Structures are given as structure tokens and as C-alpha cells.
Chains A and B, each alone.
Chain A
Amino acid sequence: MRPAARAAPWLLGPLILAVAILAGTAIGETRLPPATVWQTLANHLWGASHAVDRIDAGIIWSYRLPRALVAAACGAGLALTGVVLQALLRNPLADPYLMGLSAGASTGAVLVSIAGVGAGAVSLSAGALAGALAAFGAVVALAHAVQGGTGGGRGTRAAAAIILAGIAGSQMFNALTAFIIARSANAEQARGILFWLMGNLSGIRWDDVAPAILATLAGTGICLWHRRSLDAFTFGPDSAASLGIEVRKVRGLLITVTALMIGVLVSKVGAIGFVGLVVPHAMRFLVGTRHQRLVPASALAGAVFLVAADVIARIIVPGQVLPIGVITALVGAPAFAVILIRGARR
């Protein structure tokens, strides 16, 4: 590849992300001109004194900007988790929700908001985080039991065990969620929680921005640090081990790190599907399978994708905001079908 062609995407990617975030702050139920957005940002960021309508400035600074930033962090985190799980488990269909994370987060959220666990002292997102980590713990324990608990089992079987345990764990936590809703929720609560289950960014404020961005940056950093280990899994865990990778240690660390990251993100925005599944595959086509490029490319693309999906969710039905998961699924499901068909043709 020519040097210019190699450098360009790394300048282009962040630029596209910045534009997407600006668009995310300008577009919505009330469309605000880019100039107003720019002036508001200038006022806040470096104390410029443009005259901006107070209400417009409030919408931009207090609602839309944090929302776009958290969308970007979530998109990046979801895509990154997809990259890591697909690489480590050698399964092209692996995605963040495979580990039971979204199912557990949903159960945690309905326990707090509908069953009233914590008696108001526990926030919805704290409940969701606890639920996500509980489900992850259950899935890992189950996978360990399936595998026989010894270190002797073949790595390939361990990966299959994680996937099977993830499916079982997700089903169980989804059933628990449905049970709690059916038992305790009134119609309005059920509608509200449904919205949250499909992904909802409308409650995002500045308080949520720092945890989401820090979690995503930390996750990205750790994945980049282990980029060569991720590459070494290309021909499976035994091959990785013979290349000098401490398979159990690296796999445990990376899966736990991404699970924590997703736990934080899901607790903020609810369950958003298909980003983690589709974005990594699309990026492998664009930048290849090497994680040195795949990790940053997927993080950037996931961020842009989710910011864009959020904009679409806000404007596609006038006067109504759709759950963002509806948009990602409508785009993601056909893309997913293409991946399946392409895989079958091999």
C-alpha cells in the first residue's frame, strides 16, 4: 500500500467522527444551524462570547452533545467487544450479547425499576451494571463447568463452551426479565422498559459522559496493547499457544475487560444490538484482519455508526423518537444475513 493511502484513513476516521458528532448536535426535532452549534461549543469550550439563544444553547450543550458523545463511546465499545470476542472465540457470529451481558443488564434494570429492588436508593444504571456482571459471571461459571474445569481441555472446546453457556445464560436472564415484567409491571411501565431494552439515549446527561468515554478508551487501550495476541488466535487457541501466547490468561483478561466495558455502557443506554456483530466484519473488509488496524478502525466505525443511528432514530418518525436498537437492527440484520450467506459460500 502507498504511504499516503496508509496514513489517510487515520486522519479521515477521527474527522468523520467529529463531523458525525457535530451533526448529532445539530439535527433533531428542532434543527439548529451548524453556526449555532459552533458558537455554542465555542462559548463553552474556550469562553467565546457569541450571542446564542439560551434555549438553543441548552439543547445543544446539555442534551445533544452529551448524547452524541455517549453514542460514540457506546458504538466504539460495542464494536470493539465484537472484534475481541470474534477473534478469541473464533466464531464469526460472536457479539457482546453472547456473553449474557444485555440479558443480565435488562434483568437488573427491571428488578430496580419495576420490582422495586433497592427501594429507590439504587439507580437503574447501577442495577443494570450489577445485572450485566452477574450474568457474565454466571456464563463464565457455566462455561467453566461445561469445559470440565481443568486446564487440559482443548482450547477450541473451551471457546465452544463459552458460546453455548452464553446462549443458555442469555435465555435464562431474558426469561427472568419477561417474568418480572409480566408479574409486576403495569402497561405504562412495560412500555417504558421496552423502550429501554431496545436502547435509549434520551436520558443521557453530562454525568454519564465521563464514565462511558473512560470505559471505552481504557478498553481500546488494552485491546491495542494485546493486538498481537489477538492476531495469534487466527488459527485457533492451540496455534496461539504454540506462538507463545498464554491463552487462558490473555483470553480471560480480554473477555473480562470488554465485559466490564460493555457493562458500563449498557447500564447507560440499554441493549443495542448488531453493532458489535456487524461493524467488525465490515471493517475486516476495509482494513484487513490485523488487529493493529482492525481495533482502531472498528472503534471509529462503531462510534460513527451509532451516532448516525441515533440521529436517524430521532428524525425518521416526525414528533417521535424511536429506540436506537430498532435502527441498528434494521440496518444490522440484513448485513448479518449477508455475512451468513458469504460465510456459507466459502
Chain B
Amino acid sequence: MSLSVHALSVRVHRAQLLHDITLEVAPGECLGLIGPNGSGKSTLMRSLAGLLRPRAGEVRLQGQPLARLSARTRAQRIALVEQQADTTDRLRVREAVELGRTPYLSPLRGWSPQDDARVDRALAAVEMTALADRLWHTLSGGEQQRVHIARALAQDPEVLLLDEPTNHLDIRHQLALLALVRELRITRVIALHDLNQALGCDRLALLDGGRLRAIGRPEEVLTEAALRRHFGVGAIRTTDPSGQPALHFTHAL
């Protein structure tokens, strides 16, 4: 399902966080959001999820303004994986994933075997079936993040938003998580800090100072000039031994 942003401006407490952003995400595409700290990645992510009301402009899902959908309908189409959402509750992995069915349940429509099947499928997709009965706080950071993705998948979304999902994970879990996201067949928008990891997305959108500075194929966006101007680093584009493009950072400017 296509997601598009039209002249979006967002203001929170008199601070203008996003200026006039327009972009489109094609169905099935994986769009990476990159930019230095405070560039507006999370704000854009929250706007795409419908959690922030824009000051001007709008987000559209399949051409329909997001603001006109009910919260429930929106949650059946768009799922969000936040950075490191945590809880002190003693809940089990399966219970956490079951929360993803919330938009399909109502006070009167109870849990059904179909919901169980969706939860099973989501757990299997992130390879957490064996850990379904573990308590949340006994999981590693990587496992917790996989549970969050399973919860999002249990929402049966057409669009999956991931806000820096690899933060605080060790390298093995980072790579495993990105591989998992790459396998998914739905529309994805993923905010990433690691620019070499961002090279794996279909397209990249570069944000700086709340404005969209570039959008396109990774090699078009991550030029040495752009890295210098927006990230403040000197970098050399190389090709790694396997023939994949790679960035080598030399110094901070």
C-alpha cells in the first residue's frame, strides 16, 4: 500500500521540527530515513504513524488522508516499532505479541482462533516461537526488539514503520534484525543511524534540520558531498571485497 507525504510541517511547542516535506513510498518498497541527530527522523516517523497532528500538510495512505481514518482503522493498516519501548510489567513474549491484535478486537468481539493463528505466524516470522513463554524482562535487547516486530506483524499491517530498531543492539543482532526486515514483503519505512546499513534499503530519504535534503537510490543520496554537508564527516565511497558499495569514514569536520 502506498504512503505519501504532502507538504508536511510539524510543530511541537513552538519548535518547528519538520518543514514542508513531500515524499512518496511505493507499495512493497523499503525506504530508509537517514539524517544526523535532531534532523526530524523520529518526528517524521511519528507523523507517518498518525501519532502527531501536522501543523500543515498531510500524510496519505493509498491517497486517503490519514487524519480521516479512525485510530482503529489506521492501526489495522500501519504498525510502528518504536526505539526501545520497554515495560516493567511481568508479561510473557506471547502476551506482548497478542497486543498486536488490539485493533481487531472490541469489548464485545473477543479473542478467536484466527487471532491465535496470526500471533503464531508473527512469532514464527521473527523466530521467537521457542521463546513464547519467556518473561519480557529476561530477554536480551535484540530479542525484545524482535518481539516488538512480531507485535507489529500481528497487526497485519500494510505499512511497517521502524524507528531506529537496531539502536543499542550488538552487531550480530543488528544484522539479523535488518535481514529480517529486508525479507518482509510489505511497505517499510525504517529510520537508521548506521549509513552502511542504510545502503541496503531500496531508496533513502535524507533529512537535515527538519527538511528533506535528498531522496533517491542509496548511491545517489549518500554522496561524499552530502556526507560532508549534512553529517559533517569526511568519507570515501569504496567497494567492499564482495563487490557491495561501502562507506569509509575518515574524519569529523
Contacts and interface: CB of A to CB of B under 8 A. Distances in A.
Q: Do A and B bind each other?
A: yes
Interface of A: 90, 92, 148, 150-153, 225-228, 231-232, 234-236, 238-239, 241-246, 284-285, 288-290, 343, 346
B137 interface: yes
Contacts of B148: 235
Given A152-B13, A238-B82, A289 B90 contact: yes
B85 A153 contact: no
A228 B13 contact: no
Contact of A244 (B11, B90, B102): B102
Contacts of B76: 244
B82 A228 contact: no
Nearest to B88: A92
B13 A343 contact: no
Contacts, number: 92
Contact of B82 (A153, A226, A239, A289): A239
A243 B75 contact: yes
Interface string B53-78: 10000000000000000111111101
B13 A148 contact: yes
Interface residues of B, number: 40
Nearest to A227: B107
A241 B12 contact: no
A180 B53 CA distance: 46
A161 to B, nearest CB: 13
Nearest to A92: B88
Given A152-B12, A288-B91, 10 more contacts: A153-B13, A235-B86, A235-B87, A242-B51, A242-B75, A242-B82, A244-B75, A244-B102, A246-B71, A288-B90
27 contacts: A150-B13, A152-B10, A152-B13, A152-B53, A226-B107, A227-B107, A228-B105, A228-B107, A232-B102, A234-B99, A235-B82, A235-B87, A235-B99, A239-B85, A242-B49, A242-B51, A242-B75, A242-B78, A242-B82, A243-B75, A243-B103, A244-B71, A244-B76, A246-B71, A284-B90, A289-B89, A343-B88
Contacts of B72: 244
Interface string B84-117: 0111111100011001101101110000000000
Contact of B80 (A92, A242, A284): A242
B52 interface: yes
Most buried by A among B11, B90, B148: B90
Nearest 7 A/B pairs, CB to CB: A244-B75, A244-B103, A242-B80, A235-B85, A244-B72, A243-B102, A289-B89
B145 interface: no
B243 to A, nearest CB: 39
A226 B108 CA distance: 10
A238 B45 CA distance: 12
B17 to A, nearest CB: 9
Main secondary structure, interface of A, reads loop
B46 interface: yes
Contacts of B39: none
A289 B107 contact: no
B187 interface: no
Contacts of A284: 89-90
B9 interface: no
A151 B53 contact: yes
B122 interface: no
B86 A238 contact: no
Nearest to B108: A225
B166 interface: no
Nearest to A151: B53
A93 to B, nearest CB: 11
A246 to B, nearest CB: 5
Nearest to A231: B99
B77 to A, nearest CB: 10
A148 B14 CA distance: 10
Contacts of B95: 288-290
B85 A236 contact: yes
Interface string B142-158: 00000010000001000
Contacts of B199: none
B79 interface: yes
Contact of A234 (B71, B73, B87, B106): B87
B122 to A, nearest CB: 14
Contacts of B10: 152
Contact of B155 (A243, A246, A289, A343): A243
B52 A152 contact: yes
A139 B127 CA distance: 46
B224 to A, nearest CB: 36
Contacts of A289: 89-91, 95
A245 B102 contact: yes
Contact of A243 (B11, B46, B99): B99
Nearest to B85: A235
Contact of A346 (B75, B80, B82, B88): B88
Given A152-B52, A235-B85, A289-B89, A244 B74 contact: yes
B89 A234 contact: yes
Contacts of A346: 88, 137
Contacts of B73: 244
B116 to A, nearest CB: 15
A344 to B, nearest CB: 11
A120 to B, nearest CB: 46
